[in-house]
Structure formats: C-alpha cells, structure tokens
Amino acid sequence: MSLLLLPTNLQQCPSPSTFPSPSSPLLSPSPSPSPSTVVVPRRRCLRLVTSCVSTIPTSVSNGSAPASVVVVEREQIRLGLPSKGRMAADAIDLLKDCQLFVKQVNPRQYVAQIPQLPNTEVWFQRPKDIVRKLLSGDLDLGIVGLDTLSEYGQENEDLIIVHEALNFGDCHLSIAIPNYGIFENINSLKELAQMPQWSEERPLRLATGFTYLGPKFMKENGIKHVTFSTADGALEAAPAMGIADAILDLVSSGTTLKENNLKEIEGGVVLESQAALVASRRALTERKGALNTVHEILERLEAHLKADGQFTVVANMRGNSAEEVAERVLSQPSLSGLQGPTISPVYCTKDGKVSVDYYAIVICVPKKALYNSVKQLRAVGGSGVLVSPLTYIFDEDTPRWGQLLRNLGI
C-alpha cells in the first residue's frame, strides 16, 4: 500500500473558521474573466477534500507491520477469507461443516455475513492481502496458508496462530532442480551447495516468488553464492529457458515438477504448509467481542476436525456381564486402545420377567481401522453392527483455546 504525500500547504486541516458559512459562496467573488481566461479554484478545493481525510502515519510494505497501529473502533469483527481458487472453496466448505454459513448476496461483492456470528463480517481478499490487513488492523481474523503467513507476516509478533491445521491446502515449499545436465547426480541441498560452479561472480540463480523465505532459508543453511529472481508465468519453465538454475516453489503432488523434468532434493524443503486460522494479537486483546468470537469459531472447528474421519460402531453381543463383554472386545488388536467401548445392557422380557441377554457395544473407530474393527467385533460374537460417521466431538475443554489464552498472557 503506497502513501500519497500531498504538498505541505494541503496537509493541514483548516480550522472551523476557515470553512465557508452556509450563507456564503464556496469561492470568493472575483471580477468576471475575459473570454480567454479560465479560473480554476484548484488549491481551495484540494484543501477542502483533504480536510475530510484522516492520514495514516505509516504503511504496510511487503508484509511488514506499521510501526504503530491503533485498533479503530468498530462493532464488527472482520474475518478474511481467500477470494478465489481452491483455498476459497475449501474455507467456505469448512465453515459450513462447522454450521457457520457464509451468506454472500452477490458473488461479485467482497463482503459477506455469517448469520450464526451476527457481529462478524467476512471480507474476501487475496491471501497475501489478508496477512497485510491483519497487520494493518483492517482485519481481525483470517484463514490463510502457513506459507503465505510466513512469507508476508515475516514472524511479526502481532500475528498469532489460533489453529494451525485446518486439514486443507496441504503443500510444501521446496527447492527443485533440473533432472539433467550438471544437476543429474545432485540429490541433496548439501551437494547443490558444494557444486564448484557457484561463485561470487557466478552464483546459483534461484527463481521464486518467496523473496523473504528463500533468502532466509539459504542463509540459515550457510549457502552464500545465490541470487534470487522472480519469473513471469510458471516457475517450472525458468530452468529450461535458461533464466534460472533452480526454483523455489510450492509443491503439492509433485506431478508438475516431473512433467517439467524437475526434481526435489533432500534437505530442500523450506516449510510444510496447510490452511490455518490466524488472528491479530492486538484485535484479540483490544477489540470488544473479538476474543469471544474466536472462542466460538475455535470450538466449532475443534469439534468438527476431531470427528473428521471417525466412525461410531454399534453392535450387540451376548454375555454374562458388562465386564465380561468388555474384556472380550478389548482382547482384539483393532479394538484395543480406541475410545470406549461403552457397554450397555439390552433389556428384554423372558417368561414375563425383564432380563438381560445382550449388551450393546459402542466404540469410536478411525476410518482406516473401520473394516478390521467390524471383522473383529464379529469374531468375538458381535452382531447387528451399525456404522455411522461422526460429525462433532465436543470435549470438556478445547486444548487450543487454553494455548491461545497462554499466548495472549491471559
């Protein structure tokens, strides 16, 4: 964001006495101009315009925080979401799964509402702008990738991670080199750094959009002879075009690298990334209602994400007692150590009397162990097995909430 500097004589807001009264004309009367003369009251108009604009002493440049940011009074808590792409769709879907529905009247609008959080506005922004506006105080919360947060936040202490693993946007920032030529037998960052080709006159040329994380990573690994540049279009084409020796870019499946005859190297991963919920420390401590809003969002997220990929398995089993049935269930490898089992008597009427012949077993099973768990329940006498996905698991306390309060010193 650039700051427009006006001439000194236009920056000073005039005192109330300098404004024209309602009964007086805006401009003082002047002699009628000749046909060839045009009177343009420019300076007077500029003074009146700038008197209505509050100036900001500093600006955000390349993700750095202003030297002094004041939390502006407003009733609404602002949540920044990615405006386009897969991250945008996944963020909205996650909130929907948490029963937080983003209502956007017009898809071209950049502001939306969440009816379940009446004091919260959603602002759709580019991911890097979400980070910048968290730093400037224009946003209070945001969902962005950890890579974007690290690049544009630059470890600023005002940015605090509320939840670091929202289970989408998985990727990693990694160095990739050609799989041919002088790099054919190079397979690690150490080997790359020790190549005799690099010198002060001829450094390793690395194309990347991460102009903060790239130099920081190289410095931390003691690699001196390296220069950084950006490239128009896909970075993967830069080595083949001869404008870079290697690239530093986000990698998801690795398919694009292989298709462009590039390879990752050992020790070349700068960071692992996925979507995270981030907040402004100043907003959480100074803006009314911000901390309560974060608490509700965090509880919903934790309950949903903990239940994601978990299944409830219910089965009936004959037994003489709940303890005897529990012992049989826990003797099986796929059932031992899981949440539960919960054992409940199944009542029936026999010869006019209430009796218990069966016990109902309820266990919580992760998706990868589901089929083996069902087989082992059957092996110990389980029948009528019912399986249903879990939607939420609300714990007595939300672990990340306690961690957040400690980080805030509350």
* Residue-level pLDDT at 60: 40
310-389, what's its fold? Alpha-Beta Plaits (3.30.70)
Q: How far apart are CA 54 and CA 364, in angstroms?
A: 57
Best CA proximity match to 216, nearest among 207, 233, 205, 228: 228
* Residue-level pLDDT at 19: 40
Other Cβ atoms closer than 10 A to 103: 10
Q: What is the pTM of this model?
A: 0.77
- Biggest alpha carbon–alpha carbon distance for the chain: 119
Write the CA distances from 79 to 13, 211, 268, 284, 311, integer angstroms. 33, 27, 34, 12, 32
For 26-67, write each residue's pLDDT tens digit.
Answer: 344 444 444 444 444 444 433 333 333 333 333 344 444 454
Q: How far apart are CA 349 and CA 362, in angstroms?
A: 23
- pLDDT over 80 (residue 68): no
Tokens of 252: 């998801």
CATH of 171-273, one of 3.40.640.10, 1.10.600.10, 3.40.190.10, 3.30.460.80: 3.40.190.10
Same fold flag, 77-169+275-306 and 171-273:
yes
Query: Where does 77-169+275-306 sit in CATH, by number?
Result: 3.40.190.10
For 256-289, write each residue's pLDDT tens digit.
Answer: 999 999 999 999 999 999 999 999 999 999 999 9
Strand partners, 228: 206
Q: What is the mean pLDDT of residues 119-130?
A: 97
Domain parsing of the chain, residue ranges: 1-25+39-55, 77-169+275-306, 171-273, 310-389
* Residue-level pLDDT at 1: 43
Q: How far apart are CA 100 and CA 114, in angstroms?
A: 6
> Are the C-beta atoms of 77 and 137 separated by less than 8 Å?
no
* Residue-level pLDDT at 37: 43
Q: How far apart are CA 313 and CA 370, in angstroms?
A: 8
